[in-house]
């Protein structure tokens, strides 16, 4: 997802959610951007390499009560490029969210769920892939963060999340960490 696509999605969320602001039924949607990083381990050679990129996510959920919500998300984990191969990842996930209100405008949260992460390999010019270019992995996702209400129907969220992935028929494995900021619209 590009920044332009994320901004368009945010504008759509604002327009759609304006009609729902009159009622408070626990629903929310958001869009965020952040920095991603991974430690790619090559299971064939045993070499681990660190990479960083940028990513984005769109999410929505329903807050069942003061301390619990359920959330679904689409996440673009970025593209991690080495000298011979690049790995890009996207994912779909669902999580249970535990919420700890600190005040009427500030809360901490933790989330635990499952995510299906699709990893796509591309070879650098002059190199050929000897493994399938695309692979999906369903694994545990988790995260934590803080949320600050800036208006009755709007909040800002700071988050730290982790997603498991696999690429090249399991020859490249690891977790992608994401630290980000998101705008949330409640309806």
CATH, domain range 3-186: 2.40.160.20
Give the model confidence (pLDDT) of 102-118 as tens digits.
Answer: 999 999 999 999 999 99
Rounded Cα–Cα distance for residues 110 and 48 (Å): 28
Give the model confidence (pLDDT) of 165-187 as tens digits.
Answer: 877 666 677 789 999 999 999 99
Residue 72 pairs with which residues in a beta bridge?
60, 94
E-strand stretches of 66-153: 68-81, 85-101, 106-123, 134-151
Q: What phi, psi does 12 have (nearest 5°)? A: -65, -45
pTM of the model: 0.79
- Mean pLDDT value across residues 3-29: 61
């Amino acid at each position: 997802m590009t920044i332009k696509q994320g901004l368009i999605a945010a504008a759509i969320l604002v327009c759609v959610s304006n009609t729902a602001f009159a009622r408070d039924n626990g629903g929310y949607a958001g869009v965020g951007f952040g920095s991603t990083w991974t430690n790619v381990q090559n299971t064939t050679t045993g070499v681990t390499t660190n990479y960083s990129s940028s990513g984005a996510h769109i999410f929505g959920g329903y807050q069942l009560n003061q301390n619990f919500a359920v959330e679904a998300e689409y996440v673009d984990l970025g593209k991690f490029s080495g000298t011979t191969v690049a790995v890009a990842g996207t994912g779909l996930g669902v999580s249970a969210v535990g919420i700890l209100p600190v005040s009427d405008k500030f809360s901490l949260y933790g989330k635990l769920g499952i995510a299906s992460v699709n990893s796509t390999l591309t070879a650098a010019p002059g190199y050929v892939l000897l493994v399938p270019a695309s692979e999906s992995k369903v694994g545990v996702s988790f995260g934590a963060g803080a949320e600050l209400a800036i208006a009755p129907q709007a909040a800002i969220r700071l988050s730290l999340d982790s997603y498991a992935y696999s690429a090249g028929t399991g020859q490249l494995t690891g977790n992608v960490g994401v630290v980000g900021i998101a705008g949330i619209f409640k309806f």
